[in-house]
Amino acid sequence: MNLLDRLDRKFGRYAIPNLTIYLIAGQSFFYVMYLTGKLDRAATYLSAERVLSGEWWCLFTLPFDPPRSGLLVTLFAWYFFYMLGSTLEAHWGSFRYNVYLLLGCLLTVAGSFLVPWAPISNGFLAGSVFLAFATLFPDYQILLFFVLPVRMKWLALVTWLGYAYLFFFGGWAVRVTALAAIANYLIFFARDIVVNIRYGQRQFTKSATRFSRRDSGPAHRCTVCGITDLSHPDMDFRYCPQCSGQRGYCKDHIFRHEHIK
């Protein structure tokens, strides 16, 4: 049992169910306040300078910072975030999903103190939710622009390339917030990534061994039926001690053959 499972058993009852809905509701409230002019758009931005100057409440408004886009794009962003977040919560459970978002917020807040002058949004935090979904459901398909079917794993690849571009060519604020989101993702998925890498290495080694065997011929051949370890890679081959020379047989003929003297 890993650490998260132990924490879930001890503190899981305090998890907030349907957290995605509450986040979207909070963002909707601030978005309406911006549209009506009752609140400045910078009000929910996080910056270490604001926190140090006494505006500590922006630490808590960070998750409710709405998209800075038109209404149609914002509605689509909320729909997409709801789909991703609710699916992750159903897959992980409320506690693990709560921890994932909370950890992302804490890392973003910590990163903001490395660039205290810069305003920080939660855009990359939402990006980490997308990357988590794409990792767990890589073959899930959506209609891009409501027309083009695309699998999540390809969108995730584009996202990673975008993060790499921003890291090398973006400002320090963008680099810090992107790294915070990536760190949040890696903390949760580092073990799965290592397992997949090791599995890929084993598969590559098996493939390389098979190709090298094809070049040099089969290592094992059944004397009776003629099948080889290349034509039947899952077959077990044995050698009969009563036959002269190195006489190999498949498992179907090792006990049913005439001994060769």
Can you list the domains of the chain with their CATH numbers?
3-198 (1.20.1540.10), 218-261 (no CATH)
**Measured between alpha carbons, how far is 91 from 250 in angstroms, rounded to an integer?**
45
| Contact indicator for 18, 89 with CB cutoff of 8 Å | yes
3-state secondary structure 170-197: CCHHHHHHHHHHHHHHHHHHHHHHHHHH
pLDDT at 128: 92
Amino acid identity at 218: P
Closest CA to 136 of 158, 150, 152: 152
Question: Would you list the DSSP string of 131-178?
Answer: HHHHHH-TT-EEEETTTEEEEHHHHHHHHHHHHHHHHHHS-HHHHHHH
Q: pTM to 2 decimals?
A: 0.72
Place of tokens 């897959």: 91
Element (H, E) at 150: strand 148-151
> Average per-residue pLDDT in the chain?
84
pLDDT tens for 156-180 read 999 999 999 988 888 888 888 889 8
Residue % of the chain over a pLDDT of 90: 27
Reduce the DSSP state of residue 248 to 3 states and report it: strand
Place of tokens 């914002």: 74
| Cα diameter, the chain | 99
Element (H, E) at 52: helix 48-52
Closest CA to 38 of 27, 29, 51: 29
Query: What six digits make up the tokens of 183?
Result: 């760190």
Reduce the DSSP state of residue 216 to 3 states and report it: helix
pLDDT at 46: 86
pLDDT at 250: 85
pLDDT top residue among 247 and 146:
247
Min mean pLDDT across 19-33, 77-91, 172-186, 208-222 is at 208-222
pLDDT at 207: 59
pLDDT tens for 31-86 read 999 888 888 877 788 888 888 888 888 888 889 988 888 888 899 999 999 999 99
Closest CA to 68 of 19, 35, 97, 96: 35
Element (H, E) at 21: helix 19-35
Reduce the DSSP state of residue 94 to 3 states and report it: helix
pLDDT at 199: 58
pLDDT tens for 193-215 read 676 666 565 655 665 556 555 55
- Asked if pLDDT for residue 93 goes beyond 80, the answer is yes
Query: What six digits make up the tokens of 166?
Result: 């921003």
| Contact indicator for 156, 209 with CB cutoff of 8 Å | no
**Measured between alpha carbons, how far is 146 from 55 in angstroms, rounded to an integer?**
42
**Measured between alpha carbons, how far is 246 from 253 in angstroms, rounded to an integer?**
15
- Asked if pLDDT for residue 1 goes beyond 60, the answer is no
pLDDT at 201: 59
First-to-last C-alpha distance (Å) of the chain: 58
| Contact indicator for 43, 30 with CB cutoff of 8 Å | yes
pLDDT at 195: 65
